[in-house]
């Protein structure tokens, strides 16, 4: 069984697919038809009430997307139950060379900080995203120094 919301004919919001035993099979976030936010594909039984940072969560794959573009694969498990070499779970920050972006995350708060670095220092605009892909705040940096302290 699957639950999904559409807006103007496009998937928009959280899509949940359920196993026949009532556990969640996948939980994907969409915005305007594109994957957007934290997306999780489960291997086995998982209760919808468990939080995203539960160590007992059996994930096949978990990735963070913005507007359909995968920024980072946090966890990927192969068919034998082992994490693959592309897993970055707990290894924040991660540099996505294809997009020239850094991604830092905090799984306790389920938030993702995305931006650029120069010589290892934050530089320019950094955006904090929630797990559903909503913009939480924006920070501006000049070679590691924050310019808009709250």
Residue 141 pLDDT level (bands cut at 50, 70, 90) = very high
8 Å CB contact between 102 and 117:
yes
Q: How much is the average pLDDT of 66-76?
A: 86
Mind listing the pLDDT tens digit for each residue in 18-54? 888 777 888 999 999 999 998 888 765 444 444 344 4
The model's pTM is: 0.77
Q: What do you get for the CA distance between the two ends of the chain, in Å?
A: 44
Residue 80 pLDDT level (bands cut at 50, 70, 90) = low
Mind listing the pLDDT tens digit for each residue in 101-117? 999 988 777 889 999 99
Please give the residue that has the higher pLDDT: either 72 or 85.
72
Q: Please tell me the total number of residues recorded for the chain in this structure.
A: 150
pLDDT of residue 46: 45
CA atoms within 13 A on the CB side of 108: 0
Residue 6 pLDDT level (bands cut at 50, 70, 90) = very high
pLDDT of residue 107: 72
């Amino acid at each position: 069984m699957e639950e999904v919301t559409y807006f103007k004919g496009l998937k928009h919001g959280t899509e949940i697919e359920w196993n026949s035993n009532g556990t969640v099979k996948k939980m994907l976030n969409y915005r305007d038809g594109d994957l957007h936010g934290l997306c999780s594909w489960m291997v086995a039984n998982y209760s919808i009430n468990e939080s995203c940072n539960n160590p007992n969560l059996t994930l096949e794959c978990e990735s963070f997307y913005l507007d359909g573009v995968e920024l980072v694969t946090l966890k990927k498990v192969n068919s034998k139950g082992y994490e693959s070499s592309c897993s970055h779970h707990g290894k924040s920050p991660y540099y996505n060379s294809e997009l020239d972006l850094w991604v830092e995350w905090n799984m306790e708060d389920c938030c993702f900080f995305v931006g650029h670095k120069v010589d290892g220092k934050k530089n320019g605009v950094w955006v904090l995203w929630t797990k559903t892909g909503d913009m939480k705040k924006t920070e501006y940096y000049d070679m590691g120094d924050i310019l808009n302290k709250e």
